[in-house]
Amino acid sequence: MVTQMKTLEDYKNAYKKSVENPEEFWAEQAGNFTWKQKWDKVLDWNFKEPNIKWFEGGKLNITENCLDRHLEERGDKTAILWVPNEPDADDRKFTYKELYTEVNKFANGLKKKGIKKGDRVIFYMPMIPELAIGMLACARIGAIHSIVFAGFSAQSLADRIIDAQAKMVICSDYNKRGAKNIPVKKVVDDALKMGCDSIDTVVVHKNTGGDIEWNDNIDLYLHDMLDGVEDFCEPEVMDAEDPLFILYTSGSTGKPKGVVHTTGGYMIYTAYTFKNVFQYQEKDIYWCTADIGWITGHSYIVYGPLLEGATTMMFEGVPTYPDAGRFWEIVEKYKVNQFYTAPTAIRALMAQGNEYVDKYDLSSLKVLGTVGEPINDEAWYWYYDVVGKRSKPIVDTWWQTETGGILISPLPCITDMRPTYASYPLPGVQPILVDPEGNLIEENGVEGLLCIKYPWPGMLRTTWGDHERCRQTYFSAFPDLYFTGDGARRDEDGRYRIIGRVDDVLNVSGHRIGTAEVENAINTAPGVVESAVVGYPHDIKGQGIYAFVITKGQVDDENAFKKQIIDMVRVEIGPIAKPDIIQLVPGLPKTRSGKIMRRILRKIASGDMSNVGDISTLLNPEVVEEIKKSAPTL
C-alpha cells in the first residue's frame, strides 16, 4: 500500500523530497507493489521527442496488484459495490475473491477468442460490473482496452475502432439510463458498417434481454464466451512501459486522439493520488459518480481504488432519476464516506432545491470531491454548505485524460481550502505558469498558461499510432514543457485556480469537445457553407455550444434547418456535442490570412457586444456588425 500523508508536515516533506529527488521518491512508492522483476532504471526522459519511461525493465501485471495481492488480507471485503439504475432493483456486490474469479474467467474467455497481448479491445457499455471486469480481464492478458463512452455515435465509435485497429468490441444489448433504454448493440452494428474491418468478434452482454439483430458470423454472447472457461488465468508478464489502455479525447484540431497510458507508472500514480486525495481508510465506502468511459472512471472508479484495496461503488444511473435526491439517497443507504462528482451535477442538483438533499442523512460523508471543469463560487458553497453541512472538506481536483491522475488538489484536512481553487500541486508535480511567449512567470497573484516542467509517473506516453501528434499537441508550444491547454491563476500563497481552456477545446458539462469536430459535423449538413463554433457561459453546463453558420442562399424554414444541423452533430459525434444555439450569419469575421477570429465570436456569444475589441485589421469588418444585429438575446 502506498504512503498516506496525514499532516501538513507530511505533505511538505513529501513534496520537497519529490522535487529534490523524484526518482528516490517514486521508487519508494513503487516498492509497495508486487513486481515480477525489479526495474533497471526509475526514470528516463526528455520532453523534446517526447520520450518518457518510468521503471523501465520492471515486470508486473497490474491486476495482480488490484486483485491477487489483496486476497489474503481482504478477500472477503467488497471490492465493487454496484448500484442499479432502478432504485428498487437489486444491487450487486463483488468481494475481492469474487472479482478475482470473474476477471480470471473473463480473461480466459478473451484468450479463447484469440485475444492476446497487445491486441486492442473496445468496450461500448453501460456502467455495469461487467465493464470493470472486462477491463481488468484485458489487463490480465496484456490486451489494450479502449473504452468508448456509450453516448458517442456510431460514427465516433467507428473512428475509434479504426484508429485503434481493434479486434473485438464488447457491448451490451441495451443500456438503462434514467427512464431511457438505449439500443447500444444497434450502434455497434451501425459502426461496423463503416469500415471496421479489423473487428473479428462482437461480444454482447445480455443486459436487458431486449430484441437485437444477430449476425452469427461475428456476434457472440458474453455468457457463451465464458461458458466452461477455467477460473484461473496466469497473468501476462508486462513491462512497466507496455501500454495498458488507450482513451480517446478531443483536442483543438482534427479527430479525437488516442491517449496512451502505460502500466507501471500509471499504477503507482493512480494508487498514490487515490489514497491521498480521498484519504481513504480501510473500512470506507468510496463513490465516484463518473462514467468509466472517461478517464475519471478509469483512474478513480477502477484502478486507483482497487489498487488500494478499497470498496468502490459503481452507479448505473443518472443523478436526477427518479428524482433529484437520488445521489443523496444512495449516500445515506450505503453510508458513503468519499463522494466524487462533477460541477455540472452539483449545479443541476442545486437548481432543484435543497429539499432533495435535506431529506437524507449524509453524516457518513468525510470528503467531497469535484472534477472535470472549473467550479463556480455558488456551486462550491452549495456543495460545502448544503451537502457538507459546512464540516466536510472539498477537494477540487484538477487533471486531464493525459495526466492519468490528479495533479493539483487540496488534501482533505491537511492543506487548506480556498473556494474554487484546486490549490496546491501533489507530490511529484511541478506546475509553472508562462506567458504566451513562453517566459516563466515567477511572481504570485498572476494569471498565465499552465505547464508542467517535470514528468510524473501517470502522464501520457504517446498518442496511438501518431507520436508526432503527441509531440505537436503537448510538447511543442513551449520547449521542454508539457503544455496543459489550460489557463490558471496563482494566488499570493501559491494556490492554483484553473480558469479553463485557452485553446479551441470546449468543456460542456465536464465533457471535452473540440470545436473543430463540431464544425466538421455541421459542415456536412446539407445547405451549410461554413461554420464556427465557440463556447459561451451556461448556468448548468458550465459552457454551452454556440454555432455561427453560413448557409447556401436563403433558408426557407429556419427551425427545420437548425434541426437538421443538430441531427448531423448527433450522428457524427453524439448528443453531448449538439449546439445549444445556432445563429445563421452572412459571413464570419476573418483575418487577412483567412483565419476565423474566434475572439470576436466568443464575445458575441457571451452577449458582450460592446466589447469585441479591434476589428480594423479584419478582412471583412462589416460582418461583425451584421452578426451582432442578428444575435439572439440570451
Q: What are the residues binding ligand PRX (CB under 6 A)?
A: 249, 295-296, 371-374, 396-401, 422, 484-486, 498, 500-501, 507, 512
For residue 454, CA distances in Å to 47, 339, 378, 476 come to 9, 30, 34, 15
**For ligand PRX, the closer CB: 94 or 398:** 398
CA atoms of 380 and 387, how far apart (whole Å): 10
**For ligand PRX, the closer CB: 455 or 485:** 485
Q: How many residues does the chain have?
A: 634
Task: Give me the least distance between CB of 404 and ligand PRX, in Å please.
Answer: 9
**For ligand PRX, the closer CB: 265 or 309:** 265
Task: Give me the least distance between CB of 296 and ligand PRX, in Å please.
Answer: 5
Residue 415 amino acid letter? T
CA atoms of 518 and 559, how far apart (whole Å): 19
Task: Give me the least distance between CB of 439 and ligand PRX, in Å please.
Answer: 22
The position carrying cell 472479482 is: 99
**For ligand PRX, the closer CB: 262 or 397:** 397
Neighbour-count burial for 527-547, b at 16+ CB within 10 Å, e otherwise: ebebbbbbbbebebbbbbbbb
Neighbouring C-beta atoms of residue 162, cutoff 10 Å: 17
With a CB cutoff of 8 Å and minimum separation 6, the contacts of 342 are 289, 290, 370, 371, 372, 373, 509, 510
Helix (H) or strand (E) holding 501: strand 496-501
Are the C-beta atoms of 452 and 481 separated by less than 8 Å?
yes
Q: Where are the alpha helices (DSSP H) in 531-621?
A: 558-572, 598-605
C-alpha cell at 539: 448556468
**For ligand PRX, the closer CB: 201 or 409:** 409
**For ligand PRX, the closer CB: 396 or 572:** 396
**For ligand PRX, the closer CB: 96 or 399:** 399
For residue 139, CA distances in Å to 262, 421, 459 come to 11, 35, 18
For residue 116, CA distances in Å to 119, 142, 610 come to 6, 7, 60
Task: Give me the least distance between CB of 300 and ligand PRX, in Å please.
Answer: 9
Task: Give me the least distance between CB of 515 and ligand PRX, in Å please.
Answer: 14
C-alpha cell at 268: 503507482
Task: Give me the least distance between CB of 267 and ligand PRX, in Å please.
Answer: 18
**For ligand PRX, the closer CB: 499 or 631:** 499
With a CB cutoff of 8 Å and minimum separation 6, the contacts of 42 are 23, 24, 26, 27, 30, 54, 55
Task: Give me the least distance between CB of 478 and ligand PRX, in Å please.
Answer: 16
Task: Give me the least distance between CB of 288 and ligand PRX, in Å please.
Answer: 11
Task: Give me the least distance between CB of 370 and ligand PRX, in Å please.
Answer: 6
Are the C-beta atoms of 627 and 590 separated by less than 8 Å?
no
**For ligand PRX, the closer CB: 540 or 619:** 540
